[in-house]
């Protein structure tokens, strides 16, 4: 199969994801903050959306994806081999969780919400991209510094 077909399938998958997020109401920040508010007016609907997605995904994963050595496109499936829970993972998870809890938006719904033209979502998405780029630059700079320290030692 050619790249156009794979890109078309990826685009269709993304559109389906976005439609599902919008249809289920999960692009609304109030849904997310309602789910996270376990001591107040808790809204369990996000758990049902996640559960429904897992019911569909899990059989496909175990029957079709997990056994494969290559993607359908022929590319190698890259599985991370770092299974260490370290300071970097925990701090990144905490920052992600804080941002999600404060804004009520995470990356998937933010992308799905961009089509609505909500200025708050556009600003959130821009800030998310800028934050990702700044972090990438910081990490690469920090790694370069560590490599130069190791060479000097």
- Residue 55 is predicted with a pLDDT of 94
Q: What are phi and psi of 46, to 5 degrees?
A: -60, -40
In degrees, to the nearest 5, what angle opens at C-alpha 128 toward C-alphas 144 and 99? Answer: 105
Q: What is the mean pLDDT of residues 113-140?
A: 87
pLDDT at position 94: 92
What the block records as the tokens of 35 is 């789910």
CA distances from 18 to 12, 63, 144 (A): 10, 25, 38
Predicted confidence at residue 152, as pLDDT, reads 57
- As a whole number of angstroms, the distance between CA 65 and CA 52 comes to 19
Contacts 24+ apart (CB under 8 A), 122-128: none
Residue 127 has phi, psi (to 5 degrees) of: -65, -35
| b/e burial code for range 29-67 (CB count within 10 A of at least 16 → b) | bebbbbbbeeeeeebeebeebeeeeeeeeeeeeeeeeee
**Predicted local confidence at residue 24, as pLDDT:** 83
Q: Tens digits of per-residue pLDDT, 138-153?
A: 888 888 887 777 665 5
Residues of the domain holding 83: 3-152
Distance CA 143, CA 145 (A): 5
Q: How far apart are CA 133 and CA 141, in angstroms?
A: 12
Count of structural domains within the chain: 1
Residues 122-149 have a mean pLDDT of 87
């Amino acid at each position: 199969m050619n790249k156009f077909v794979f890109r078309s399938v990826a685009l269709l998958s993304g559109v389906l994801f976005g439609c599902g997020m919008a249809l289920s109401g999960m692009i609304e920040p109030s849904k997310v903050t309602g789910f996270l508010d376990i001591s107040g007016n808790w809204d369990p609907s996000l758990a049902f959306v996640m559960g429904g997605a897992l019911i569909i995904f899990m059989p496909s994963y175990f029957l079709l994806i997990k056994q494969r050595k290559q993607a359908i496109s022929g590319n190698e499936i890259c599985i991370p081999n770092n299974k260490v829970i370290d300071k970097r993972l925990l701090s990144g998870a905490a920052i992600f969780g804080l941002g999600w809890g404060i804004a009520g938006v995470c990356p998937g719904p933010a992308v799905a919400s961009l089509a609505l033209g909500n200025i708050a979502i556009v600003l959130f998405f821009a800030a998310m991209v800028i934050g990702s780029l700044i972090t990438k630059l910081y990490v690469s700079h920090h790694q370069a510094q560590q490599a130069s320290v190791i060479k000097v030692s």
